[in-house]
Amino acid sequence: MKKCTLALLAGLLLGALPTVAQEASEKVPLLVTVDDLPMTRGSLHGAWEERVAVTEGMLAVLKKHDIKAVGLVTWGNLRDARDQELLARWRSAGHELGNHTDQHRDLSATGVEEWIADAEAGRVALTEFLATRPEPSPQKTVRFFRFPYLREGDTEAKLDAARRYLEETGQRNLPVTLDNQDWAFEGPWVEATRRGDAVAREAVARDYQASLRHSIRGYRALGERLFGRPVPQILLLHGGAVGAAQWDALFSWLEEDGYRFATADEVLADPAFQEAHRYVAERGASLWDRLLDQRRREAAERGVEETLQLQAAAWNRGDLLGFCAHYAEDAAFVSPSGLTRGRDDVLRRYRARYKDRSAMGQLSLEAVELRLLHGTERSLMGDARPGAFHGASLVARWTLHFPDRPDAKPATGLTLLVMRPRRLSVLGESSEWEIIQDASM
């Protein structure tokens, strides 16, 4: 009996303990990507021997953690033909290479045709490199592309043109979810190293680790808020000496913090990476920021439209108090007869003009043009992130029908409304809007 009890207890305990496979499945998949290969800030690493040493240092850390990364090649960063050997080392180590353009041109500051020519020059050069390498390689085509500075277009036309180009050439935009400013530490690290200043190097190392951990935790939290679950992540890193020295500690921390390193195909298969967005801005941003911006935009559009419909409904039941409740307390109403300030005075104006239900008729409000107003927020580290929508400019058409007066013709006109959200959610989404200025014509 005692043996049976012990056996049962042992079985229960063992069954309650997670297996290695279960523990791995519960960890968050993470794709490591490395920009600006063969080396960022190449002017800091002019000597061939140094470039080889930095490359081998990065590859050694990736191998230690069993990471298969995607390296994004800026072809113009190759100083001479020998640098192709650096790329060959990445391929021989099993890492995939993607296109990061030829000259790393900023789409926000470049014409579409010039930018596409630069992107295509990078793709062609990398494709030729993959096709002519003597060593066996499963990669013969360029699957992935990353926008320099993560800038995908500051106008609708640029956004659409860039997306058409990628589709036509069979390249998939490889977004970033864990954005950071790791590239900013390369210069200070190299300078401290060359001076032999161990104290300065240690300070750079501390700041590097603290900066990346802060960014990674913040973006992980944002992703989980967006989707209500842990979602796979794509980490942006840059190839250089500080990475070769600091990635080991960074990757060890990531593993301790609940991540496991995954392939591009596994990560990109998650539904989170299929969600559509149209983020148009001068500065680049992480994918989570883009999706947050899209959700904020959709919520704002719904909120503005709902305000119009609530106003029309209140009007049509003869509730002028409810109609004017959607004006801000300090609202301004402009008409050919003058300027009215304050919600209470706006209400008095309406009551004086529309003395009964017959005079009010039936109101319909139709949005003609909506422009949402927001800007880009900057962090202390220089990250650019889309801000919440704090205002809207709306051109709307109003029409009054008079069903009780068959001989009366409908009255119609335009109004320009300036609106603001009454409250924002934790993620900066707005659902209830109020009118702060109304210019009716």
Q: Domain ends where: 239, 274, 309?
A: 274
Clarify whether residues 79 and 162 are in a common domain. Answer: yes
Q: Rounded to an integer, what distance in angstroms lies between the CA atom of residue 3 and that of residue 64?
A: 45
Q: Distance between CA atoms of 406 and 263, rounded to whole angstroms?
A: 70
Would residue 11 count as lying in a domain? Answer: no
Q: Does residue 34 sit within a domain?
A: yes
Flag whether 8 is in a domain: no
Pair 46, 133 in one domain = yes
Residues 76 and 104 in one domain: yes
Q: So what's the pLDDT on residue 431?
A: 75
| The one-letter amino acid at 144 | F
- CATH at residue 296: 3.10.450.50
Q: Judge contact between 286 and 176, C-beta under 8 A.
A: yes
Q: How many beta carbons lie within 10 A of that of residue 61, not counting itself?
A: 20
Shared domain for 131 and 212, answered yes or no, is yes
Q: What is the pLDDT along the chain (441 residues), one digit of tens a residue?
A: 444 444 433 443 344 444 444 455 689 999 999 999 999 887 888 899 999 999 999 999 999 999 999 999 999 999 988 999 999 999 999 999 999 999 999 999 999 999 999 999 999 999 999 998 766 567 779 999 999 999 999 999 999 999 999 999 999 999 999 999 999 999 999 999 999 999 999 999 999 999 999 999 999 999 999 999 999 999 999 999 999 999 999 999 999 999 999 999 999 999 999 999 999 999 999 999 999 999 999 999 999 999 999 999 999 999 999 999 999 999 999 988 899 999 999 999 999 999 988 889 999 999 999 999 988 887 766 678 898 889 999 999 999 999 888 888 999 999 999 999 998 877 777 778 999 999 987
Query: Do the beta carbons of residue 226 and residue 192 sit within 8 Å?
Result: no
Q: Which residues contact 11 (CB under 8 A, 6 or more apart)?
A: none
In a domain, 285, yes or no: no
How far is Cα 414 from Cα 430, in angstroms, rounded to an integer? 25
Domain final residue pick, 274, 300, 331: 274
Residues 61 and 148 in one domain: yes
Q: For CA atoms 53, 55, 61, 64, give the dihedral sign.
A: negative
Q: What is the DSSP string of 204-261?
A: HHHHHHHHHHHHHHHHHHHHHHHHSS---EEEEEE-SHHHHHHHHHHHHHHHHTTEEE
Assigned domain for 266 exists: yes
Does 270 lie in the same domain as 195?
A: yes
What's the number of domains the chain is made of? 2
Same domain, 325 and 260: no
Contacts of 296 (CB under 8 A, 6+ apart): 374, 386, 388, 389, 427, 428, 429, 430
What pLDDT is stored for residue 45 in this prediction? 87
Of the CA atoms within 13 Å of residue 127, those in its CB half-sphere come to: 15
Statement to judge: residues 58 and 188 lie in one domain: yes
Residue 346 sits in the same domain as residue 308: yes
Burial 224-238 (b: 16+ CB within 10 A, else e): eebeeeebbbbbbbb
- 93: closest CA among 59, 119, 45? 59
259 with 295, same domain: the answer is no
Q: Same structural domain for residues 295 and 269?
A: no
15 found inside a domain: no
Specify if 346 maps to a domain: yes
- Whether residue 9 is contained in a domain is answered as no
- CATH at residue 46: 3.20.20.370
Q: Are strands 376-378 and 384-386 parallel, antiparallel or unpaired?
A: antiparallel
- Choosing from 274, 299, 326, the residue where a domain stops is 274
Q: Which two tokens stand for residue 26?
A: 């519960």
Structural domain that includes position 224: 23-274
Residue 316 CA: distances (Å) to CA of 323, 326, 357: 9, 15, 8
Residue whose entry in the numeric block shows the structure tokens 């702060």: 436
List Cβ neighbours of 50 (8 Å cut-off, separation of 6 or more): none
Residues 86 and 129 in one domain: yes
